Structure 1
Amino acid sequence: METYRLIRNADWIVTMDEHRSRYRHADLIYKGNEIVAVGPHLEEAWRGRCRFDEVCDATGKIVTPGFVNAHHHTWQALIRNIKVTQGLKLEPWLKVMYEVYKDLTPEVARAGVFASLGDCLKTGCTTSNDLWYPHPVKTARLMDAEIQAAAELGIRFHPIRSYHSQVSDVVVPEVVDTTERVIADATRLVKTYHDSRRFSMCRVGIGPSIAQYDTEEILQATLEFAEKYDVMVHGHLAESRYEWEYTQARYGCTPVEWFRRHGLLGERFYYAHCVQLDERDIRLLADSHTGVASCPISNMYLSSGACPVRALMDAGVRRIGLGVDGPASSNSSNMMEEMRVCYLLNRLCYGDKPCSAEDILYMATAGGARALGRDDIGVLRPGMAADIAILDWSKLSYAGGCYDPVDCIVMSGDARMVDTVIVNGEIVVRGGVLTRVDEEEKRQYVNAVGRGLLCKSAQRLPALRADLQ
């Protein structure tokens, strides 16, 4: 008799399928890494024809697809809450960051993943992007270290080999590389780690940090590389007013229009932020089926603005997700918090036509999966990956508001709600605790590596010393 795993008697199963179906007092059955059935009374119907080798009682809990973090910079977990960057907007903030980036090492990459993606997992996330854009030329294999650490945690991972090809007011020479070296490293990473199969745990991508600041030679090479290896292209787009003004002054158009002229829009592409948009920009993104990753907490922290999520959805953008961005500008990697803030920020800025709580949950699940180019995650239905978040809404923290499960998750939910997280059929968070690593050991490791990084950087940035006393 075949063996399966059962999640039984959930208060609600919120599938986020194309009909946004929900099931009350329902069950979910999966085998290996694949969901085989979702709905009410499944335990009784299946018990005679199979054996359940693991049963999870979900009474008092909500079952949703695992959350998808569509934009991240994991190493920044070691550079957060430092006084020298507080109160700065994006470009001045970046000038400080790049002084620290000169000292990035594989140890920093590894430690950053444990802090950032460990946090993501504990807040219900089962898949995460990571856009690694500063590569000190004298330091190799940063992305190898983060890919290996992500595998150790058990999270589904989409690392992006980003780059800089010329010095600017922000970008320092130490992280500027040649087209040949960038493409050679990206080729090595794809051949070593990229897996295009269904239920893949690692898919490597490529992309510029901010395309209009790079050479046209490397952009063309990026497009050719992405076509050759059939990988996704990701970067930043229209994040700040400075970027909009720079592109207007130099090229006479908006950032989105500049991307269109250079063949950087379409189903192979998805971009973070998309704050500084006009109506034509929104139409270009929609018509080209380009993906968007909104990062509301980071955009607030750096005073960049708010992504017009409702307008993008109304225009037909379906590849739209949420990203926690780098922890140095969001100060955590908390998907539960990102959902709540996204809902509230859109209420504040676009209150005449706000997003619903269900719209926000869509972004955190199916929409984020689409943005990453996935059709096998982000939804709970037969044939999809067993990536599942089990959220406990029976605690006192949520009492008095347990009516609609999606409203409770988005408007009242927080990390305390996350009980169990399943990635690719494996429980990687149980009772709110990571199962694959020792959290105390990793905490000590991350703190030690982070302090070492800032001690090096403080030789160039004396203001950092105040945080190291």
Structure 2
Amino acid sequence: MRIVIENAAIATVDAAGTEHAAGHVVVDGGLIEAVGAGPAPAGEADRHVDRRVDATGCLVTPGLVNTHHHLYQWATRGLAQQSTLFEWLVELYPVWAGIDDEITHAAALAGLVRLAKTGCTTVADHHYVFPRGAGDLLAPIVAAAGAVGVRLHAVRGSMDRGESRGGLPPDSVVEDGDEALAATAEAIDRYHDPARESFVRVAVGPCSPFTVTTELMSQAAELARARGVRLHTHLAETVDEEEQCLAELGCTPMEYAERTGWLGEDVWLAHGIHFADGAVARLGATGTGVAHCPTSNARLGAGTARVADLLAAGAPVGLGVDGAASNEDGGLGVELRQSAYLARLRGGPASLSARDALRLATMGGARCLGRQDELGSLEPGKLADLAVWRIDGVEHAGIADPVAALVFGALPSVALLLAGGRPVVEEGACRTVSEVDTAAGLRAASAALLKKAPR
């Protein structure tokens, strides 16, 4: 489709931070053709247009990029409400042991609909629970992303360190290391599309130091680099993790990452809360990214990431929702405000501006996923992933700065969400799948999963 959006405030999030108080965006064939102030040029307006959008009272931004999620967890929201991370995992692993392809698909579909309705067009989903006999659980996630119409970075996770080997998860949900590596290689063969306009890419993602052996961590990094895909894992999320690393491995999580080959421009780490000064500097020097998940970190009382320090060091930082079992909201738009507020609790009101928060959610996320040349800003030639936010209601009346309205005000309704130039959300509603059917499917899947869980 050729779409012309006019009369909107525009935050391009380009390198110069270009903004237009009233401007236009022209989309053609899945790409951004033009962005500028005022109405579309007369020559553009005279050409064939499939759809013209009067976006008066709206703000246009790049589509938001979610750098860390666990979509299957949408089926287990509201549990372990007062638990630390390790306590939460111990309670939920036996429940997750019951997931199958139907439950995973229903949870992924619901989670992706929620993400799209909050302005998200690209989702990195880290799936690491593969119960024995459950089969290839990436397939239902890929299918759900295709149905909703958003881009998916499917992180093929793995765990090979169960309770019998000193890990947290029950042995029923861990894999043999060699089998996990073979399944990861198969996932790359089956799903990874390296094309610029790709809607599905695969990354390699052993879960964490306390659920994965050192051998699997190192071999997974070797596999990813041999196949030219990115690497993702949890790291430095809690004090418990650091204490366990020091006791078992004689090093900090950051030192462990370096020892096993998990630093570099092709790596992004989830959470990254408990980093000392030297670790922050090392992340910046190596270009290693961090997926900042403010709501989940607060829900679990894990701590506050040093976002301002990471940015100052030059490390790519994006926003992540994390699984809905530790962030029941499940939306990405709300993380803009959360990231700004938590940074300010740590470092004061100048720590992170509204525009800094928007950059985290767009270009920062694109950098973490290695797609900064394709996504993350509104510039001619980039992929046509954008969000049109309605900020003309009473919730935002009187906020003259449209970016401040988006970040600090109530989360606006999405008037239009395009992914690859295709409408996914219009006037706050998902247009690609039935929200009623999706909710019903999720309720059934959640009930079925909890019925399987040990009492």
TM-score range for the pair, normalised by the shorter chain length: over 0.9
Displacement, 1:48? 6.2
Structure 1 residues without counterparts, runs of 5 or longer: 462-469
Instruction: Letter of the 1:187 partner, please give it.
Output: A
Deviation, 1:212, is: 5.6
Q: How does 1:125-204 map to 2 (within 5 A)?
A: 125-167=120-162, 168-204=166-202
* One of 98, 101, 109 as aligned partner of 1:103: 98
What corresponds to 2:401 in structure 1? Answer: 404
What is residue 319 of structure 2 aligned with on the other side?
Answer: 322
Q: Find the residue that maps to 2:218 and give its secondary structure.
A: helix
Give me the whole-angstrom Cα distance separating, in 1, the residues matched to 2:45 and 2:242. 63
Cα distance in 2 for residues equivalent to 1:143 and 1:213: 20
C-alpha distance in 1, partners of 2:154/2:211? 21
For structure 2, list consecutive stretches of 5 or more residues without a partner in the other structure.
none
What TM-score, normalized by structure 2, do the two folds share?
A: 0.96
Q: Is the 8 A contact 2:107 2:442 kept in 1?
A: yes
Task: Single out whichever of 333-342 and 238-247 deviates more from structure 2.
Answer: 333-342
- Give the distance between the partners of 1:324 and 1:220, measured in 2 at CA: 27
Whichever residue aligns with residue 326 of structure 1, its letter is G
- Determine helix, strand or coil for the equivalent of 1:451: helix
Task: Return the alpha-carbon distance in structure 1 between the equivalents of residues 241 and 365 of structure 2.
Answer: 25
Q: Partner of 2:78: helix, strand, or coil? A: coil
Q: Tell me whether 1:239 sits opposite 2:237 in the alignment.
A: yes
Alpha-carbon distance between aligned partners in 2 of 1:187 and 1:250, rounded to the nearest angstrom: 29
Task: Give 1:23-42 correspondences, 5 Å limit.
Answer: 23-42=20-39
1:361-372 aligned within 5 A? 361-372=358-369
Aligned AA for 2:222?
E
RMSD (CA atoms): 1.4
Matching residue within 428, 433, 438 for 2:434: 438
Q: Is the 8 A contact 2:167 2:210 kept in 1?
A: no
Number of the residue aligned with 1:454: 450
CA distance in 2, matches of 1:330, 1:354: 24
**2:168–2:210 Cα contact (<8 Å) kept:** no
Inter-CA distance 301–361: structure 2 relative to 1 (3 Å threshold) = same
Match of 1:73 among 52, 70, 75: 70
Deviation at 1:145, TM superposition (A): 0.8
Residues in 1 aligned to 2:44 and 2:29: alpha-carbon distance in whole angstroms: 17
Contact 1:212–1:258 (Cα < 8 Å) also in 2: no
**Shift of residue 113, structure 1, vs aligned partner:** 1.0
Write the mapping of 1:271-290 to structure 2, written as runs, cut at 5 A: 271-290=269-288
TM alignment of 1:217-296, pairs within 5 A: 217-296=215-294
Q: Is the partner of 1:128 in helix, strand or coil? A: strand
- The match for 1:358 is 355
Is it true that 1:429 corresponds to 2:425 in the alignment?
Answer: yes
Q: Distance in 2 between matches of 1:31 and 1:43?
A: 13
Match of 1:464? none
| Runs of 4+ that moved beyond 6 A | none
Supply the distance in 2 between the matched residues of 1:215 and 1:334 (Cα, whole angstroms): 32
The Cα shift of 1:180 comes to: 2.3
In structure 2, what is the Cα distance between the partners aligned to 1:271 and 1:178? 23
Comparing 171-180 with 99-108, greater Cα deviation is found at 171-180
Whole-angstrom CA distance in 1 between matches of 2:44 and 2:319: 38
Matched residues in 1 for 2:259 and 2:211: separation? 15
Matches within 5 A, 1:50-129: 50-82=47-79, 85-129=80-124
TM-score by length of 1: 0.94
Deviations 1:67-123 (A, max 9, x none): 0000000011110113xx110100011001101111010011101111111100000
CA distance in 2, matches of 1:349, 1:48: 48
Q: CA deviation at 1:296?
A: 0.6
Separation in 1, partners of 2:335, 2:405: 14
Alignment-derived partner of residue 12 in structure 2: 15
Write the distance in 1 (CA, Å) between the matches of 2:45 and 2:416: 27
The aligned length equals 451
Q: Percent identity?
A: 35
Instruction: Kindly provide the CA deviation profile for residues 394-423 of structure 1, in whole angstroms up to 9, marking residues without a partner as x.
Output: 00111122x112111111131x43221111
1:388 maps to which residue? 386
Question: In 1, Cα distance between the equivalents of 2:226 and 2:275?
Answer: 31
Determine if contact 2:66/2:122 at 8 Å carries over to the other structure.
Answer: yes
SS of the residue corresponding to residue 219 of structure 1 reads helix
* SS class of match (2:199): coil
3-state secondary structure, aligned to 1:17: coil
1:46 maps to: 43
CA contact (8 A) 1:28 1:37 kept: yes
Q: Which residue of 1 aligns with 2:310?
A: 312
